[in-house]
Structures are given as structure tokens and as C-alpha cells.
Chains A and B, each alone.
Chain A
Amino acid sequence: MGAYLGLFRRELLLAVRQGGEIGLALGFFVLAVVLFPLGVGPEAEMLRRIGAGIIWVAALLAAVLSLDRLFAADHADGNLDLLALSAMPLEGVVLAKCAAHWVTTGLPLTLISPFLGELVDLDSAALPLLALGLLIGTPALSLLGAIAAALTLGARRPGVLSSLVVLPLYLPVLIFGAGAVEAGIAGTGARPHLLLLGALTLAALPLAPLAAAAALRQALD
């Protein structure tokens, strides 16, 4: 547990001190959302209709963009080999890194999402649903993303490749996340969507580290 917390703290410190990586993901997220009104027009009616989907798609893309920093730097400078040799199981290493990744990407996105919701004129009743959905769903994005990041270690053009690999896997998160907001607006009840979103995250919590650790072992072979 101590080693787990130590690794978690190290990842956080690296993210904070290494030139504002949190800001980078956040900036991309905001900019991607801002691009949509410029593309489809500023009519509030239309933006309200597609706002939740825009924000969720932007969150997905921001998560994909930040995946390469999960393992790539540690792989390049040999830290990953040391972590693999340590007494801590590799699954634990993945989990600690995912937790840090979520705190530096998923959590800031969640916190800023109500403001972006206002930007696309989302119903004020839907804002808590949007934030709650992101809070529940973004851990799954980090966990599934870890699989793709581990699989593409050492590949040619890992960035493009990992997005091709992981975006189909992100589909359910997008559907239930955006669906929760939509159901909330339509008044059909967002609870089932949020519960299913929670189920996805809870299923990914034990399974994704297993798969990612298996992929890491092969990358380090």
C-alpha cells in the first residue's frame, strides 16, 4: 500500500512539475468544445440539443491525447523496468498510474464541465448529470486507455495507433455518458444510464489492469 501511494504521489508530482500537463489536456478539452459552435453555428437551440454529446466526445479525445504519458516516458528512460522488478505487482503499478492519470485528466475535465455546459447553453438541470456522468465515467477512460497505452509501447506512431485501438472500446462510455444527460433533459430518468456507466467503470477497475499488465510484460520482454 505504501509503495502504491508512493508511486501515485510520484506520478502526480511529475504531472504537476513537468510543464503543466494538466493544463494541456484541459486546454485541448475546452478548445475542442469551443470549436463546435464555430462549426455548426451559434444558435442556442441547436447547441442545447447536441451540447452533451460534444462535451463527451471532447472528453474522450482529451483522454486519448493524454494516454502516451502513462507509460511511454517511463519506458524510454528505463523506470518501467525498475517498476517491473520491484516487489509491487505490475497490476498495482498500472492501477497507481491510472489513478494518477485520472486525477490529472478526468477529474479536471469533470470540474470544468459545468462551465462548458453553460457555454453550449445546456439545461441547468442537466449540468449536474453531465458532471456526475463524467465523474463516474472518466475512470473507465483512464483504465481502458492504459491497455492501449501498454499495447502500443515501442510501436511505430504509437499515438495514432492507440487512438485507433481504444476509441471503439470507449464507445459504451460515450453512449451511457451522453445518454444520461439526454435522458435527464427528456425526463425519462438518467439513473439507469449512470448505473450502467458505473458498472463499466467497476468492471474495468479489476480487468483493465490485468490486461494492461499482461501487455506491459510483453513490452518489457
Chain B
Amino acid sequence: MLTYLANPARFMRASAAVLPYLGAATITVLAAGLYLALIVAPPDYQQGESVRIMFVHVPAAILAEGVYYVIAAASFVALVWRHPLADVGAQAAAPLGAAFTLVCLVTGSLWGRPMWGAWWVWDARLTSVLVLFFLYLGYIALVNAFDDPGRGARAGAVLALVGVVDLPIIKFSVNWWNTLHQPASILRLGGPAIDASMLVPLLIMAAGFALLFATLLLLRMRTALNERKARALRLAAPERRAAAPTDATPALR
């Protein structure tokens, strides 16, 4: 499967065939999830209607971290097997992951304001998501910092692997730091268990977010491949123009 799709032309054909179904599934699942989350699910006994932010916040948080592992896995494949599409995939996924992380931070902030009375709290989880956001930014900046896109891709791949090794260490240290600085001041919302009437919409929303990521990833990869083709054509254009007079001469005559 992986080697079969290593050919960009084959990937373009396969992704073009898959994309409409994937898009339709994304829209259906997200619409169903939003309906269940915003209308069917009951308001929380404590938080009221504002609990509905959770149905966007939690899936975004799951994707924020998940996408980083996708990038790391793709980078590993790119470095070890030199898979030509793994680089494209990793780079296409990075802005998506950063966007999910930002959505997670923003919705968390909006949720925190009425619940905790503060836009931002130096809670361990908030802090590690913020660091994750900076890891994404560093990766994106590094990939785009070179004149040669291939060099940027390989540097980004090494950084993604370094980051994925460091991520658990960062999370551990942030947890450690948090317990040192402010012991147990953060509310554990909703208690340990979550009722099925909320869990089901949440899981559907998470599936919808994952489908959205897959759809956008394929779209972005296709765009990147088309861009690469356009770039190659543009670079080849002067040569063709240089060769053109000899081609054109018969027509002129």
C-alpha cells in the first residue's frame, strides 16, 4: 500500500477517487455530531449550556496532539525509507495540527473565562498545549526557512523526531512544575465519569474532527504536489523558450 502510493501520479488518482467520499463522510459526521452536541445533549447540571464548548474543545485537543504523532511517523518514514510522499504529508499536516492546537487553546480560554473566571490559567495541561503550539510553529518555520525545499523537508523531519522524543519529557516536567507551583487549585470539571448522553456526541465529534483532518490533509497534499509540478514547469520554461525558435521555424515558413 505504502509503496504503491509512492508514485505521486498514482497517489493523485487514488486520492481523487477517495476524496469525494471522505468529504461527504466528514460533512455527515460533523453535522450529526454538531446536532447531537448542540441540540440533543443535555446541559450540564453545574455548567449549564457552556459545557457545549467541550464538544469542540476536546476533539481539537485530541487532534492537536495526534497530528504531531502523525507528523513524526511520516517524518520517520521519510527519513528511513525516503518515501517521496511522506515529506509532503508531514508538511501538509503541520499547519492543520497548529490550527487544531490554536482552536483547542482558544476554546479552552473561552470556556475558562466563565468557569474559572480567567482567560488563562497556568495549569499543566494548558501549558503543555501551549508548548505544543510552539513546537508546531518551530517546525513550520524551519521547513519554510530554506531556499531548497528538499533541505527544509529533511531538517523538519529530524526536528519532528526530536520533538516527539522530547514531548513526553516536556509534559512530565510541566506536570512536575505545576504541582510545585500551585498545588491542586484547578477544578476537575464534570467529575471522573462522563454520562453517555454527552459521551456519544463527544465521540462522534472526535470522529468528525479526525475525518476533517484526513480530508484536509489529502487536499493539502494534492495541492502541494500540484504546486511542485507547477514549480518544475516554471523552472523548465526558460529552457523550452530557448528551444522554441527551432520548433517554431517550420511553422513560420
A interface list, Cβ under 8 A from B:
147, 151-152, 154-158, 161, 164-165, 167-169, 171-172, 175-176, 179, 182-183, 196, 200, 207, 211, 214-215, 218-219, 221
In contact, A161 and B145 (Cβ under 8 angstroms): yes
Helix, strand, loop or mixed for chain A's interface?
helix
Residues in B whose Cβ lies below 8 Å from that of A172: 166, 169-170, 172-173
Residues in A whose Cβ lies below 8 Å from that of B159: 147, 151, 165
The residue from B154, B165, B173, B180 contacting A207, defined by CB atoms under 8 A apart: B165
User: Of all chain B residues, which has the CB nearest A147?
Assistant: B162
Number of interface residues of B (CB under 8 A): 29
In contact, B151 and A154 (Cβ under 8 angstroms): yes
CA distance A49 to B10 in the complex (A): 62
Report the minimum CB–CB distance from A173 to chain B (whole Å).
9
In contact, A157 and B134 (Cβ under 8 angstroms): no
B143-162: which have CB < 8 Å to A? 145-147, 151, 154-155, 158-159, 161-162
Residues in B whose Cβ lies below 8 Å from that of A155: 142, 145-146, 155
In contact, B158 and A182 (Cβ under 8 angstroms): no
User: Of all chain A residues, which has the CB nearest B173?
Assistant: A172
In contact, B131 and A168 (Cβ under 8 angstroms): yes
The residue from A147, A157, A164, A175 contacting B137, defined by CB atoms under 8 A apart: A164
User: Of all chain B residues, which has the CB nearest A186?
Assistant: B180
In contact, A175 and B177 (Cβ under 8 angstroms): yes
In contact, A179 and B176 (Cβ under 8 angstroms): yes
In contact, A218 and B158 (Cβ under 8 angstroms): yes
Residues in B whose Cβ lies below 8 Å from that of A161: 141-142, 145
Residues in A whose Cβ lies below 8 Å from that of B79: 214
- The answer to whether A164 and B141 touch (CB under 8 A), given A147-B162, A218-B155, is yes
In contact, B134 and A164 (Cβ under 8 angstroms): yes
- The answer to whether A168 and B151 touch (CB under 8 A), given A147-B162, A200-B169, is no
User: Of all chain B residues, which has the CB nearest A165?
Assistant: B138
